[in-house]
Amino acid sequence: MIEAINDALDIMLERDPDVIVMGEDIGYFGGVFRCTAGLQEKHGKTRVFDTPISECGIIGVAVGMGAYGLRPVPEIQFADYIYPGLDQLISEAARLRYRSATEYIAPLTVRSPFGGGIFGGQTHSQSPEAIFTHVAGLKTVIPATPYDAKGLLISCIEDNDPVIFFEPKRIYNGPFSGFYDKPVEPWKRHADSVVPEGHYSIPLGKARTVTEGEQLTVLTYGTMVHVTEAVCREQGIEANILDLRTLVPLDIEAIEESVRKTGRCLIVHEATRTSGFGAELSALVTERCFYHLEAPVERVTGFDTPYPHSLEWAYFPGPVRIGEAIDKILKD
Amino acid sequence: MADKQPPAGDNRPKLALHVPEPKYRPGDAVDYSDIDIGEPGSMSRPDETCSPDTMRDHAYGLVRVLGDDDNAAGPWDPRLSPDTLRTMMRNFAMVRAFDERMFRGQRQGKTSFYMKCTGEEATSVAAAMALAADDMVFPSYRQQGILIARGYPLVEMINQIYSNKGDKLKGRQLPIMYSSREHSFFSISGNLATQTPQAVGWAMASAIKGDSRIAATWVGEGSTAEGDFHSACTFAAVYNAPVILNVINNQWAISSFSGFAGAERTTFAARALGYGLAGLRVDGNDALACYAAQQWAANRARANGGPTLIEYFTYRAEGHSTSDDPSGYRSAQEREEWPLGDPVMRLKKHLIALGEWDEERQEAMDRECAELVKAATKEAEKNGILGHGLHHPFRTMFQDVYEDIPWHLEEQAAQAKHEREVKWPGEEPWS
Ligand SMILES: Cc1ncc(C[n+]2csc(CCOP(=O)(O)OP(=O)(O)O)c2C)c(N)n1
């Protein structure tokens, strides 16, 4: 997935002279996760450069660059550190088009690795996507495969609205099954790891059907796509798993179609439960598919605590939590 | 024996917290004798490409040009032609007339809110005149002088203030939060200091593209305490961005005096030193000094000499906004005794001293400006005033959140339309 992201950035830097890549350690060194490796050498120091450790500055400067006419792609080293730049995203980038009646826009794509499962402790593991989905004017995109990472990132950079692009860092190097005691497969052996060369894009607002099934619908994204898939495979459950890919705009059609077909719905995300994006999904499904539902909508999420370093696997929504929720839904 | 000893550290002096307090409160007599305003003309004018570390005196002193004798003196005299000075004078007169009328308009209920810039006109008008018309400005909310100096139509300004159907911003922004791309004037945010890193980003973009346009931003001294301002200084210095950071030190941030932004310890211009920015402290009521400082900084930026932080030492003569009554927190004498006078009067007297102006012409100009503003107000009122129903079509509420309207906003727009059909049957629901 890292190579796919690097490839997308490389292609966009090549195609569009207005694309600028910036962030802490992303230049010479190529980023702490190596997502920007080699880009500075290839595209030069004024297109790809390091920034001071100032998230407020990174996003604020990117808004100004967007107003000039550039397409900045700032990296926030970890999603946990996006908060110092939050005001610039929420009050400035998100509303610039609206408040100026289209005189100015902020076409930035903020890339940031998010989620846990790498023993990052409470300051390197958070999933803050719900904060952004709550903000009018922002789009929130989360890929789950290398193929999607490249195609979606290209779409985000080409999009004229500010986008938050969260990269599930647990699956940077391979799809994670959730069985943390089993060896992690590399992407190489995964079907969605095949990344075509050159430019292609995946439209924002379109979910991906991961597996077809009649027993229940699972709405999920990011790392949890793979965890859910593995649980269903282990337990022989035929689930209709939807990888949402973009939370805003959301593919409501795919969701409704699937839930109407299966009559049962499970929502899985890693972020804390209360006021999480799962609450929004649950409300939507209930509002729109109530008479098709044969069981209450269930949520599997992280707990409402900070991410505990030593107890990471107790926190992580893994096979047990998902399996039991599926059992409960199917029993009704 | 050991437990009879006093606790460790008990003999150390007790620490005390300092909470700043302004020197004068309502009813107090004012004494400004401790403010060292220096002699007009006495401050050296360094080369525009000089190193910031040679500018210590400029960050602590005060650049002044106009003296008590109404003459210009010293190396900072920008030597403007009488015509330019008269243009500046006219911009001043227009800003005063505009502020006056809009303030009254708010009191008459034509809009919700207004902010005057009385006493600070030079920091926007003179500064704007020293920039090129296509240099990008990222103002705060008290820089109406820039729009007026750049010839932005008064009617457009008033439409915005009234949020009427002529408002280019579709009635979405608080009054006075203008935007005009055509005039290289960035959309104003109500969140303080957010525009400062944005200006730096714009300037960086201009440099990345090999453009020749520079950026300038304005921020109040109270708002320099925001993290955004410090991020802006860091980025400006790190990338040598062609940007000017203007700090308007008008002594008051609503009811908090400048001490709450750190003014008891050092000057705002001196902030520049630690970042390696050029720092200039300027008499903000001296139109010629304001012009000269902005011009110096612009030349520096254009020559890739680097960013400049300018502090304009001035005084907010009126209330913070139409919602504020300063008599509740500061001495009424402060304004009267302000040692740097009034920028408009000082320029007028200078022009008269030059033999290029007289009281009659001034009066005629003031009258003419008042008439023009009045006419513009009438014109704008045809498009409606706030709350009287002449606003942008209803549907615009859902536009421009995103480039295209997504399904959930379409659904909400349909709901809004339905509600209007219920409330006002038979009317065009989107109007
Ligand atoms: C982030 C933020 N905090 C608080 C406010 C409320 N507020 C509006 S103006 C103001 C005072 C600003 O003072 P200063 O920066 O000195 O500018 P001045 O009004 O004196 O021109 C405050 C606190 C705001 N608009 N934004």
Q: Is A216 exposed, middle or buried (0-12, 13-18, 19+ CB in 10 A)?
A: buried
The mean pLDDT value for B288-315 works out to 98
Give B168's contacts in chain A (Cβ within 8 Å): 101, 103
- Selected for mutation to probe chain B from A18, A43, A59, A65 (highest B CB count within 10 Å) is A65
Q: Which residue of A has its CA nearest to B234?
A: A52
pLDDT at B173 over 90: yes
Residues B382-423: pLDDT tens digits?
A: 999 998 888 898 889 999 999 999 999 999 999 989 988 998
B228-266 pLDDT, tens digit per residue, is 999 999 999 999 999 999 999 999 999 999 999 999 999
Between the CA atoms of A95, A99, A101 and A107, what dihedral angle is there, to the nearest 10 degrees?
-30
Identify the residue whose tokens are 């346009």: B213
- B147 contacts chain A (CB < 8 A): no
Query: Which tokens hold the place of A166?
Result: 């969260």
Please say if the pLDDT value at position A111 is more than 70: yes
SS3 state of residue A10: helix
Across the interface, whether the CB atoms of A91 and B194 are under 8 A apart is answered yes
Q: pTM (2 decimals)?
A: 0.95
Residue A249 pLDDT > 70? yes
| Best CA proximity match to B217, nearest among B244, B181, B189 | B244
Mutate to test the pocket of ligand 1, among B118, B254, B316 (most ligand atoms within 8 A of CB): B254
Collect all residues with Cβ–Cβ distance below 8 Å to A123 and sequence separation of at least 6: A78, A80
The whole-angstrom distance between B125's CA and the closest CA on chain A is: 23
- B124, B188, B192, B260: residue to mutate for ligand 1 pocket, most atoms within 8 A of CB: B192
pLDDT in tens, A196-229: 999 999 999 999 999 999 999 999 999 999 999 9
* pLDDT for the residue numbered B30: 97
Q: What is the tens place of the pLDDT at every residue in B34-64?
A: 999 999 999 999 999 999 999 999 999 999 9
* pLDDT given for residue A194 in this prediction: 87
Question: Of B143, B50, B36, which is closest to residue B98 (Cα–Cα)?
Answer: B143
* Shortest-distance Cα residue to atom 13 of ligand 1: B253
The pLDDT of residue B2: 54
Report whether B369 contacts B97 (CB < 8 A). Answer: yes
pLDDT of residue B394: 86
Predicted-complex ipTM score: 0.92
Substitution target in B140, B208, B275, B410 with the highest count of A β-carbons within 10 Å is B208
Q: Which of A49, A154, A35, A160 is nearest to A108 (CA)?
A: A160
Please write down the long-range contacts of B39-42, taking CB distance under 8 Å and 24 or more positions apart: B39/B64, B39/B67, B40/B64, B40/B65, B40/B66, B40/B67, B40/B68, B40/B72, B40/B73, B40/B74, B40/B283, B40/B286, B41/B65, B41/B67, B41/B72, B41/B73, B41/B74, B41/B75, B41/B76, B41/B77, B42/B74
- Taking CB atoms and an 8 Å limit, are A65 and B204 in contact across chains? yes
Q: In angstroms, rounded to a whole number, what is the distance separating the alpha carbons of residues B342 and B121?
A: 9
Q: Is there an atom of ligand 1 within 6 Å of B124 CB? A: no
**Residues of A with active-site annotation:** 55, 124
Other Cβ atoms closer than 10 A to A225: 30
Q: What's the pLDDT at B427?
A: 83
Residue B77, phi-psi category: left (phi > 0), alpha (psi -120 to 50), beta (remainder) = beta
* Among B137, B231, B411, the residue to mutate for chain A (most A Cβ within 10 A): B231
Which of B191, B205, B400 lies closest to A97 in CB terms? Answer: B400
Which residue in this structure is represented by tokens 């860092």?
A169
CA distances from A323 to A72, A208, B339 (A): 42, 22, 77
The answer for B291, left when phi > 0, alpha when psi is -120 to 50, beta otherwise, is alpha
Q: Is B290 in the pocket of ligand 1 (CB under 6 A)?
A: no
Residue contact B232–A250, C-beta within 8 A: no
What is d(CA A250, CA A305) in angstroms, rounded to the nearest whole number? 27
Picking from A188, A222, A54, the residue whose alpha carbon sits closest to that of residue B201 is A54
The enclosing H or E element of A113 equals strand A109-114
8 A C-beta contact, residue A12 and residue A156: no
Please name the helix (run of DSSP H) or strand (run of DSSP E) that holds residue A175, with its range, or none.
none
Q: B254 alpha carbon to ligand 1 midpoint, in Å? A: 7
| Residues of chain B with C-beta less than 8 angstroms from the C-beta of A287 | none
Task: Pick the range with the lowest mean pLDDT from A312-326, B191-205, B352-366.
Answer: A312-326
The pLDDT assigned to B3 comes to 59
pLDDT for residue B402: 97
Mean confidence (pLDDT) of chain A: 96
The DSSP H or E segment spanning A223 is helix A223-235
Cα distance from B397 to chain A (closest Cα, Å)?
9
A44 CA to chain B: closest CA distance, Å? 11
pLDDT top residue among A193 and B2: A193
Closest approach of B163 to chain A, Cα-based (Å): 12
Residue pLDDT, tens place only, B186-230: 999 999 999 999 999 999 999 999 999 999 999 999 999 999 999
- pLDDT given at position B4: 67
Burial annotation A167-186 (CB, 10 A radius, 16+ → b, else e): bbbbbbebbbbbeeeeeeee
pLDDT for B6 beyond 80 = no
The chain B residue lying nearest A137, using CA atoms, is B401
CATH: 3.90.1150.10, 3.40.50.970, 3.10.290.10, 3.40.50.2300. Which one for B52-381? 3.40.50.970
Helix (H, G, I), strand (E, B) or coil at B201: helix
Condensed to tens digits (0 to 9), the pLDDT of residues B76-88 reads 999 999 999 999 9
Give me ligand 1 centre to Cα B221, in Å: 9
Choice between B379 and B3, residue whose per-residue pLDDT is larger: B379
